Amino acid sequence: MRFDVLTLFPGIFSGYMGESVLAKAIDRGLIDVRLHDIRDWTTDKHHTVDDRPFGGGPGMVLKVEPVVECVEAVRRQDDEPGHLVMLTPQGRQLNQAMVEQLASRRRILLLCGRYEGFDERIRTILEPDEISLGDYILNGGEVAAMAVIESVIRLVPGVLGDEDSSAGDSFSGPDRLLEFAQYTRPREYRGHVVPEVLVSGDHQAVDRWREENRRQRTRQRRADLVE
C-alpha cells in the first residue's frame, strides 16, 4: 500500500517513519510512504505557497496553484491515481469504519494544510475526501496525516504480528464496542487484585467475563456506541 504525503514540512515525518511498526512495515515492503514538498511546485523566485485572504482578516491562505499542481503531478507518478484525502477540521470526523474503508485502497494521497487553511478552489477543483481528526484545531495537517497512516496500516495484512492483532480492538468487529479491561503481572499491586477468573485457567469463563466487561465498560463510558 502506498501513501503520498503532500506537505510544506516533510521533515516532520522523518522520525515517525524511522520507528516501530511503520519502519518495520516499510522495511518489509508492505508500506511505501513518499513525501512531497508542496513548495517544489511553486514557480516564483520566492517559492510562495501562501498569500493574504481576499476580503481581509488575519493569517495567510494556502495558494491554489502549487497545491493543485502538486496533487496532479504526484497522482501521475503511478498508474493508480489514488484516493485523495484533505486533512481539515471541516471534514468528516475519522472513525474506525472510515479507517477500514481507507485500508481497502491501494494508494492514498494525504494533503496537509497550514496557516489559515486552503483556498476554497482547491476543494472545488480536486474534490478530495475531507477528513478531520476531531473538533479542535491543529497547527497543520501533518499530525492528522500520521494518525491516518497509523490507523490504516494496522489493518494491512502482515503489518501487525499476532500478538498485536487489531481484531479485538475497541471500535472493531461487528458491534464496535470498547475492548475489555486488560491486566498483566503482578497479580496484586497496592491492594489492587487481578479478577480471579482471569487466572483460573477456565477459558470459557474468561471469555464470558471479557464479553460482560466490554459491554459494561461501553455502557458506562460510551453509551452512544451501545445505541
Would you call the peptide bond into 174 cis, given omega within 30 degrees of 0 as the criterion?
no
Q: Does position 53 bind ligand SAM by CB under 6 A? A: no
How many other C-beta atoms lie within 10 A of the C-beta of residue 181? 14
Cα 141 to Cα 162: distance, rounded to the nearest angstrom: 31
* Amino acid type, 32: D
Cα 118 to Cα 178: distance, rounded to the nearest angstrom: 36
The question of whether 123 is a catalytic residue gets the answer: no
Q: Does position 128 bind ligand SAM by CB under 6 A? A: no
Tally of residues, the chain: 227
Choice between 50 and 69, CB closer to ligand SAM = 50
Q: Does position 6 bind ligand SAM by CB under 6 A? A: no
Which stretch, 3-11, 27-35, 46-54, 107-115, contacts ligand SAM (CB under 6 A)?
107-115
Q: Does position 117 bind ligand SAM by CB under 6 A? A: yes
Cα 55 to Cα 20: distance, rounded to the nearest angstrom: 46
Cα 227 to Cα 39: distance, rounded to the nearest angstrom: 46
Which stretch, 22-30, 70-78, 115-123, 163-171, contacts ligand SAM (CB under 6 A)?
115-123
> Contact at 8 Å (CB) between 59 and 116?
yes
Q: Least distance (Å) from ligand SAM to the CB of residue 106? A: 23
Q: Does position 136 bind ligand SAM by CB under 6 A? A: yes
Q: Does position 113 bind ligand SAM by CB under 6 A? A: yes
Chain contacts with ligand SAM (rule: CB under 6 A): 87-90, 112-114, 116-118, 132-134, 136-141, 144
* Catalytic annotation, residues: 89, 116, 154, 169
